[in-house]
Amino acid sequence: MDEMLIKRRLIVLGVLLLITVGVWWSELDYVQIRPSVCNAKLLCVVFLDVGQGDAIFVQTPTGTQLLIDGGRDQSVLPELNTVMSFSDRTIDYILATHPDADHISGFYDVLERYSISNVIRTENESDTAIWQAVEEAVVEEKAKVYYARRGQRYDLGDGVVLEILFPDTDPSGMESNTSSIVARLIYGDTSFMLTGDSPKAIEEYLVLIEGEYLKSDVLKAGHHGSRTSTSELFLDHVDPKFAVISAGKDNSYGHPHVEVTDALFNAGITTLNTAEDGRVAFWSDGKQVKLK
């Protein structure tokens, strides 16, 4: 065989090999194969970095997984790859706090990629195309659907309970943010207050009916740190050690608002912001909560 032809073939093979390795490395980077931030023996709660939106991943000591909201786009998928093993393609529960795009859009891709057993939502709906697409995907998934009501307790295993605090009635006619599911994740003596985009009026209503029961170690500040949420009255009753703001860097809404950050600072609450800190992970052994 001509020596020049052999060299040409070797060059072609080399180029093809480089392309193959490049594709493989790109895929490896996408799935981010590395040790999970979650420890199998502890409750793990991770506020994912999905930009201007919400997505919270929960894994219990028994391995039950819950995803609260899915962010506004596909960015939830690479974030999930940092907290779930590459081979894991199931999530036990997804919970949609309300039907706004920055909370539910990513669910479409989650439902495409993962097998979902249970969906927690409310009757509040949207006429947007993405909400309709997510609803259709849930139907195709044949997941069991629960409509959230105050007093419901979802047993996530090993003593971990998700308790619904709001809504306490059918919220179909409510403004979307007002209809947000407010839930308290409880493990032993520790708890997380998860508020969606719930406004001050609902926070103050919860103070009226729940009082000191709202006490929690971690608060997800409502509505991405908007001045419409996180009232001082609510802060006084939740009395968290940590607060997390889920927001996008340099977002057009100005979140978090200075009124909220000042209130958190003045209350002596350690505050994390996904826009600045990236994903925020907590571990609980049922006795205390630690920031990873």
Assess whether pLDDT exceeds 90 at residue 20.
Answer: no
So where are the chain's domains?
Answer: 1-31, 32-291
Q: What is the pLDDT of residues 246-257, one digit of tens each?
A: 999 989 999 999
Q: Which residues make Cβ contacts (< 8 Å) with residue 265, sequence separation at least 6?
A: 271
Fold of 32-291: Metallo-beta-lactamase; Chain A (3.60.15)
| Angstrom distances, CA of residue 21 to CA of 9, 16, 32, 129 | 18, 9, 16, 38
Q: What is the pLDDT of residues 168-222, one digit of tens each?
A: 999 999 999 999 999 999 999 999 999 999 999 999 999 999 999 999 999 999 9
Q: What is the pLDDT of residues 84-109, one digit of tens each?
A: 998 999 999 999 999 999 999 999 99
- What's the whole-model pTM score? 0.87
| Angstrom distances, CA of residue 124 to CA of 60, 97, 136 | 28, 10, 16
Residue 38 pLDDT class (50, 70, 90 cuts): confident
Assess whether pLDDT exceeds 90 at residue 8.
Answer: no
- Phi/psi of residue 107, nearest 5 degrees: -60, -30
Q: What is the pLDDT of residues 56-75, one digit of tens each?
A: 999 999 999 999 999 999 99
| Angstrom distances, CA of residue 238 to CA of 137, 194, 213, 224, 248 | 36, 11, 8, 17, 25
Distance separating alpha carbons of residues 69 and 197, to the nearest angstrom: 11
Distance separating alpha carbons of residues 291 and 248, to the nearest angstrom: 21
pLDDT (0 to 100) of residue 105: 98
Residue 292 pLDDT class (50, 70, 90 cuts): confident
**Cis peptide bond upstream of 171, omega within 30:** no
- The two structure tokens encoding residue 58: 């929960």
